[in-house]
Amino acid sequence: MSMEKRIYTVIKGTGSYIPEKVIKNDHFLQHRFYDKSGEPIEKPNEEIIAKFMEITEIEERRYVEDQHNTSDLGYFSALKAIESAGIDPEELDYIIVAHNFGDVYAGDHKTDMLPSLAARIKHKLGIKNPDTVAYDLPFGCPGWLQGVIQADYFIKSGDAKRALVIGAETLSRVIDPHDIDGMIYSDGAGAVILEGVESEKPIGILSHKTRSDTLEHYNLLWMEKSFNPHYPKDDIFLKMNGRRVYEYAISTVPPFVKACIEKAGAEIKDIRKVLIHQANGKMDHVIMQKILRLYGIRETPEFLMPMTISRLGNNSVATLPVLLDLILAKKLDNHRLGSGDLYVLASVGAGMNINAIVYRTP
């Protein structure tokens, strides 16, 4: 007796764009750092940077080239995903672009979001089809994964067959050069092509969950003037209450991920990889440890949680699709995914928002 076929959302192709400009930690040795009260931080920069690297694991990050913007990076990653999937872009039903700051031009901290980045990328791709719906999704760092979740709804409802979901950001252009937290951020883009496939066995996206904690946590990341009281302009920059973000993430994300795994009818022993938003090395390791302890596991299995933050930094919505593309393209040492493997994608960020999916490779 054969099982009934159902439509599942599967990844048909991936792509990423990592800028070539490498910014090592010694780039910040000549910076003048201030605290949130506007007072100069008197510790030597060597000491500040060493402590920063110990906590975040970041040794270097990538910054966008002056001639490129967020929509360009998204376009480059989209081209690679389309090539990887081997599809005609005219057959796309949706283009969903996750970002938080739009196009920010070199030397200018203002954001430009009209028309939408999705419209700009669709134009760059030369897509003529008016039924290819293009829209943006600002949802903090979990934005790309939320776009994947939305596309899954469209596909399983019969509204769409294929969708392109992009995460792109140029955070180097919205960071305060006088704020220590600015060293965390970087630039990049990643994209996936999702497609509806009939299958008797559950494949692709098996479960997903999202939550938004806005009552007490909505303002843990915000925009504000430079910490330097003598900064010559009225520009506003990305700011973060790092301690409260850390406390929120390590207490809220682990049980949330466990609930998503259970929703898929899976066990932790079934999970091949856990891909977590590359926010902060220490935070991600603690999240992973706490997830495992919810299952009574004390030691983190080797190669369970791939990491890119040490050399790519935190590029917000781009961290997960870039990480996924590197794994599927076999460009990340000791990390592979094969047919039938289960893995988790999870993110946390401004809002505060959390989301996760459980995916089975066809």
Coil, strand or helix at 217: coil
Q: How confident is the model at residue 198 (pLDDT cuts 50, 70, 90)?
A: very high
Q: How confident is the model at residue 2 (pLDDT cuts 50, 70, 90)?
A: low
pLDDT higher than threshold 70 for residue 218: yes
Average pLDDT over residues 166-181: 97
pLDDT tens, 41-69? 999 999 999 999 999 999 999 999 999 99
pTM for the structure as a whole: 0.96
Long-range contacts at 38-45 (CB < 8 A, ≥ 24 apart): 38/227, 38/228, 38/229, 41/180
How far is it, in rounded angstroms, from Cα 215 to Cα 248? 13
pLDDT value at position 4? Answer: 86
pLDDT higher than threshold 60 for residue 124: yes
Of 177-186, 230-239, 253-262, the range with the lowest mean pLDDT is 230-239
Beta pairing class for 187-199 and 94-98: unpaired
Are 321 and 77 in contact by the 8 Å Cβ rule? The answer is yes
How far is it, in rounded angstroms, from Cα 351 to Cα 141? 9
How far is it, in rounded angstroms, from Cα 356 to Cα 43? 39
Are 61 and 310 in contact by the 8 Å Cβ rule? The answer is no
pLDDT higher than threshold 50 for residue 85: yes
pLDDT value at position 323? Answer: 98
pLDDT above 70 as % of the chain: 99
Average pLDDT over residues 157-174: 97
Higher pLDDT, 108 or 72: 72
pLDDT value at position 1? Answer: 45
pLDDT above 90 as % of the chain: 96
pLDDT value at position 109? Answer: 81
pLDDT higher than threshold 90 for residue 233: no
Which tokens in the block code for residue 155? 């596909």
Domains and CATH numbers, the chain: 6-199 (3.40.47.10), 204-360 (3.40.47.10)
Q: How confident is the model at residue 107 (pLDDT cuts 50, 70, 90)?
A: confident
Average pLDDT over residues 267-293: 96
The mean pLDDT of the chain is 96
Burial of 213 (0-12, 13-18, 19+ CB in 10 A): middle
pLDDT higher than threshold 90 for residue 136: yes
